[in-house]
Amino acid sequence: MTYHRPVLLQECIEGLNINPKGIYVDVTFGGGGHSKEILKHLTCGKLYSFDRDSDVLQNLIEDDNFKLIQTNYKNIKRFLRLEGVKKIDGILADLGVSSHQFDVPERGFSFRFDADLDMRMNVSSELTARSVLNEYSREDLANVFFNYGEIRHSRKAANLIVKYRESEEIKTTSDLVDILCGLVPEKRRSQFLSQVFQSIRIEVNDEIESLKMMLMDSVSLLNVGGRFVVMSYHSLEDRLVKNLFKRGGFSGEVEKDFFGNVLKDLKEVNRKVIVASEEEQRQNNRSRSAKLRIAEKVDVKR
């Protein structure tokens, strides 16, 4: 089964600064590209990888130092504790959706194919794109489009959907495209539909809240000196990571002690965001929107 080529592979591995005997976590296993490379640098260390998509079982790695944990990465702390792991030396998060999920029509992630409106990363979850579009109120739909897709026409889009479903259920990706394609000029249609599908996918999979939980728990799990390597693909994700690494929280406000010293558990390793080279962008289209940030856990006395 074809998954995407790992993005910024060497930059991620260098960023982790791997201790061959350390404990590492890859919270987005996918095709296993990053995990395989991490394992090459371990001797008696251990790698725990997370993924909630059952399709990744076809990419399992045979290695005594490796274990795949099938759950949402928001559960990282609880499931590592079940493995007897309380502290780790590094964590890698390659956020976003795998090319495999986009390229399998029946998953409903892409407007390129006519398919049922699904978009679940965990196919056993109850909430689907179809239920969001047919059951959410006009206001809730508009909020999903605006908050998760940053769509200017969010209310107009919600109005069109509500009007359509009054007479007929919205069942397929083509139904949704037909309803909304007239909202923007043809030259902007692809970008607009990408934003629409992104917003619904984020809602279906509770991606933003899951990301926040994973980021905060990961910081608490890291040993002092441990590295946190995060790659994001859209501004909503990158903004959360950037604020956490730079200011210690998601809001962007800085917490200080009585003497005015900044209180945060991470220091940035790269102050300037890392992006793929022109060569990698030519070879791997997915790398074009990737932003890599690296931080190290520091000892903060509160």
pLDDT in tens, 40-96: 999 999 999 999 888 888 889 999 999 999 999 999 999 999 999 999 999 999 997
Nearest-5° Cα angle at 201, 200 to 205 = 120
**CA distance readout (Å), 149 to 11, 40, 201, 233:** 29, 38, 10, 13
Superfamily of domain 9-99+207-297: Vaccinia Virus protein VP39 (3.40.50.150)
116-166 tens-digit pLDDT: 999 998 888 999 999 999 999 999 999 999 999 999 999 999 999 999 999
Domain positions in the chain: 9-99+207-297, 106-205
Distance of alpha carbon 7 from alpha carbon 297, whole angstroms:
24
For 82, residues 6+ apart whose C-beta sits below 8 A from its C-beta are none
Q: Please tell me the predicted confidence (pLDDT) of residue 41.
A: 98
Helix (H) or strand (E) holding 217: helix 207-221
Side-chain half-sphere CA neighbours of 2 within 13 A: 4
Assign a CATH topology to domain 106-205: DNA polymerase; domain 1 (1.10.150)
pTM for the whole structure:
0.91
The alpha helices in 234-293, defined as continuous H runs, are 235-247, 278-283
Return d(Cα 211, Cα 222) in angstroms, integer. 16
pLDDT at 98: 59
